Structure 1
Amino acid sequence: MARRAAIRMTADELVRYVADRTVVTVATMGPHGRPHLSALWYVPQDTDPAATPPVPPLRLASWTYARSQKAVNLGRDPRATLLIESGDSYDQLRGVSLECDIELVTDTEAVADIGLALARRYTPGAEVELLRSVVAEQAPKRVGLICTPTRIASWDHTKLGGTY
């Protein structure tokens, strides 16, 4: 158990790690009882490392097509597990698993706000008004996803100093 505690990220490390990464893998429950995995871009929200138990309020926002399998799955069961990870060798493995309750956002203006936040994060330097117009065209076909963790597990094997 001490080893597990040694690799766990602090709240501050967790917030920084999630902010620095760009892709989250989302697992929803498919219609036939098997996990459905998909990758999404996301925007961290409410990142307050000073928060107290059970987990820091580390919410993620994203969007997807309203008719996508993940959106349909979340309409049926609004729970998902999210995974953000990095590292190519054991001593470099870092990641966070977030068991989340997912809020599906259907208000077009709110969906557009999420889309604009995503566009600004993933196309730095682009003209905001251009991004806003592109997002406005997409928003009616999409739903927003607000992912609120109920349980977080993290690991950072770089803390082991190369030992196993």
Structure 2
Amino acid sequence: MAAVQRRGRRIMMTDAERDAFLAEQRTCRVATVAPDGHPHVGALWYAWDGTSLWLYSITRSLRWTQLRKDPRIAVVVDAGESYGELRGVELRGKAVPVGESPRTGEPCPELDAPERQFARKNFGLEELPHDGRHAWLRLTPEAIVSWDFRKLGGTSGNFSPSGV
């Protein structure tokens, strides 16, 4: 179960708002940890099932190599242009590979729903074509933080760091 958000309750998304937001967005930013402790961040498409974030990653990527050594991961999905429109979700936990690696389409009931959702959302297809280069990672978050600055109401699109 994900940790409860303590700060920013005023701008925090409800569970329903968070699920709707994650379902409508396409791209997330994924942060992994290199052996030297430095972070690596890259963008990926994803699927959200209401419990877990499903990431379809190239198995020869730096991300995949780092996650095999250290499964800790942080993912941000965000949107908005002006300050008063900013909203997003950060999910943290451990990435777990699911299915064969790389994915060739062998039967894996756990992947049926995420693959169908991913194919529809990103390609407009009913079935995900497998290229033998990607594999699935599941992030069931240990912590989730969300924000929706639109809830502040009356916040101008012009942000002034000095408060003037």
Q: Structure 1 length normalisation: TM-score?
A: 0.78
Q: CA deviation at 1:3?
A: 8.2
In 2, Cα distance between the equivalents of 1:99 and 1:59? 11
The one-letter code sitting in structure 1 at the alignment partner of 2:75 is L
Could you say which residue in structure 2 is the equivalent of 1:102?
95
Residue 119 of structure 1: CA displacement?
2.4
For 1:87, give the aligned amino acid: G
2:92–2:142 Cα contact (<8 Å) kept: yes
In structure 1, stretches of 5+ residues that fail to align are: 48-57
Given that residues 99 and 111 in structure 2 are in contact (C-alpha distance below 8 angstroms), is that contact kept between their aligned partners in structure 1? no
Cα gap change, 1:92 to 1:10, in 2 (>3 Å)? same
For residues 55-114 of structure 1, what are the alpha-carbon distances to aligned partners after superposition, in whole Å with 9 as ceiling and x for unaligned? Answer: xxx311121121110000100011100000111121111011101211012424249855
The whole-number CA distance in structure 2 between the counterparts of 1:152 and 1:112 is 23
Aligned equivalent of 2:160: none
Q: Partner amino acid for 1:119? A: A
Task: Among all aligned residue pairs of Structure 1 and Structure 2, give the percentage whose two residues are the same amino acid.
Answer: 34
Q: Which residue of 2 aligns with 1:163?
A: 155
Q: Does the alignment pair 1:81 with 2:85? A: no
Distance 1:158 1:71, change over 3 A: same
Structure-to-structure mapping, 1:2-81, within 5 angstroms: 4-45=8-49, 47=50, 58-81=51-74
Structure 1 residues 64 and 3, CA, compared in 2 at 3 Å: closer, same or farther? Answer: closer
Match of 1:50? none
User: Which has the larger displacement, 92-101 or 111-120?
Assistant: 111-120
Tell me how far 1:117 sits from its aligned partner: 4.0
Inter-partner Cα distance in structure 2 for 1:157 and 1:101: 28
- Amino acid across the alignment from 2:25: R
How big is the shift at 1:163?
Answer: 3.2
The alignment yields a C-alpha RMSD, in angstroms, of 2.3
Distance 1:99 1:112 in 2: 21
- How much does 1:141 deviate? 2.5
Determine the C-alpha separation between the residues in 2 that align with 1:123 and 1:60: 18
